[in-house]
Every structure is written in C-alpha cells, then in structure tokens.
Chains A and B, each alone.
Chain A
Amino acid sequence: MASQDEIFQKVSATLVEALNVDEDEIRPTSTLTGDLGAESIDFLDIVFRLEREFGIKIPREELFPEVAEGNNPEFMQDGVVTPKGIEELKRAMPFADFNDFEKDPRMTEFSNLFTVKMITNYIQDKLARGGR
C-alpha cells in the first residue's frame, strides 16, 4: 500500500503535467484554482490522469462535486453556505479540510476546498478500499 508521501509525489507529478506548473510550486495546501491556476476543463483532465496513474475509477463528481448555487435556501443564503449546507458538503467531501471554509463560508471560497492534500486524502482512502 502506497504511503501518503508516495501518493503526494504521484499527485504532484500528475498536476505538473495537467496544469503545466513547476513541481516546487506544489504544496499540500496549494489550492487548484487559486494557487495552481486550474480552469474548469482541467478538473476533468486531472480526474482522467489520476485514474490512469493509480488504476482506479473516479465516479463523476465524487472527487470534485459541483454545487448548484442558491438552489436550496436551507443550504445557502445570500451567497453564504449555512451550517446545514456545510454539514452536507462535509458528507459529500469527507476528504476535504473545512477549517478555513467554516470561518468564511462564502460560496466564492468554495473552490479553495480543492487542494492537493484533498486529492491525496481522497486517493489514499480510495486505495485503502481497493480502488472502489
């Protein structure tokens, strides 16, 4: 079973290829869009590359869920995610670190949940479950 460090190295190599960034720009806390410049089309590319690299299947929206803004007032009000909404997100993204987002739960901050560490956690969990 690959260690977290080995997984991180492979995830970094994948992001270098997909986003055309230097390896030394990639840290566990780097956000994909803010720090590494990922655009929406890159997320699909990253998913396909991770599948090939780790020999796993990543179902649609399991790693990068899409959140429909403002669809449900229980989950979001005036562009801010409600405590109930945060609980829902935590259920959908158990591998993400919500510490910063809970302090500033504006929807505009949502993409900052997508970090290199989040991908590493996801892959580690996936591999532990035999790729399922």
Chain B
Amino acid sequence: MRWIWLDGFTAFESGVKARSIKNLSLAEDHFAQHFPGYPLMPAALIIEGLAQTGGILVGEKLDFKEKVVLGKVLKARFDRDFLAGETLEYEAEIIMVRPEGSTVIGRVFCEGKLEAEVEIFFAHLGPSWSKSEAAGGAGDDNFVFSSELRSFINQARRLDAQAKKAKAAAN
C-alpha cells in the first residue's frame, strides 16, 4: 500500500519552510466509508500529510542521515471539515532541530485561508548503516525516506535551488 499523503511540493526553503499540495479526490478509498454521503478527509491523514511535508524538510536539513519519525502531535486545531473535491495547501515551518528530535509547525490553507494548525514533534532514530544512506540518504532500505519519496525529495531540492537562484538574481 502506498503511504503518501501529499501530491507534490510547491515551495521549499532548505532548513526553514516548505509548502506542498494535496488534492482530496473522491477516488481515494477511505472516502467510501468516511463517511457515506459525507466524504470527510480524516484529520489524522491531514496530520500525516503535514508530517510528510515537515519530515522531508527536517530530513533534508540533516542530509537524510537521520530517520525522522512522527513522535507526537503536540497541538492540533482544525477550524473546519475538509471534503473531497477541495485542494489543501500544507505548510511546514521548522521551530527547532536537535540531534535527538525536532519540532515543526504545520499549517493547512484552503483557497488561501488558514484553516488548521498542528505542532508536530519528530524523533530522530539515528543514522542507519544501510547502503542507500551511505550513498546519500533516501532509498529502498530506508523505511522513512524510501524511494517512494525520492521524486518529492528531488522536487524539493529543485525548488530550493530555484528559490536561491531567484533570490540571488533579485540581489
């Protein structure tokens, strides 16, 4: 089963902030049961999308040498329900990164309006001695930054490079 709860990054500022997008499609299986006639996106899956956005942000800051795992949801506030057909924008901002763990604040925007805010604590499981990590981080034998996420990681790095280039040109 694929466990990816975002569709792609839209902005990435290394070590600071990232934005991603999630289209809520009625084709997603969970909407059939959650709930019949009222396709409500489960808050837990929104938190997972924010954690994936923030986890890649933190992981990239640490060169993917640590496994960044959602440890605890410190705070969560949802102002409304999110239904199939809507497009959510996730934003993750780093509050603190330490060798043992990190904290990010995740925000959900819909049509430009802030609709939910979640504070997430990640535990760092330490460097693994897997081949893919030795070769530079993500890969099939890294259960957090798996090859499934590789396209996102490449996309994030591309966006970061573009933003840096634009900033340099503006200066």
Contacts and interface: CB of A to CB of B under 8 A. Distances in A.
The answer to whether A and B come from one shared complex is yes
Interface of A: 41-42, 44-45, 48, 60
B71 A48 contact: no
Contacts, number: 22
Residue with the highest number of chain B CB atoms closer than 10 Å, among A41, A42, A60: A41
16 contacts: A41-B72, A41-B123, A44-B71, A44-B100, A44-B101, A44-B121, A44-B123, A45-B71, A45-B74, A45-B101, A45-B121, A48-B96, A48-B98, A48-B103, A48-B121, A60-B99
A48 B72 contact: no
A22 B74 CA distance: 16
Closest 9 pairs (CB-CB, A-B): A41-B71, A44-B101, A41-B72, A45-B121, A45-B72, A44-B100, A41-B123, A60-B100, A44-B123
Interface of B: 71-72, 74, 96, 98-101, 103, 121, 123
Nearest to B99: A60
Nearest to A39: B72
Contacts of B123: 41, 44
Nearest to A61: B100
A33 to B, nearest CB: 15
Contacts of B96: 48
A42 B101 CA distance: 12
Nearest to B96: A48
A58 to B, nearest CB: 10
B99 A48 contact: no
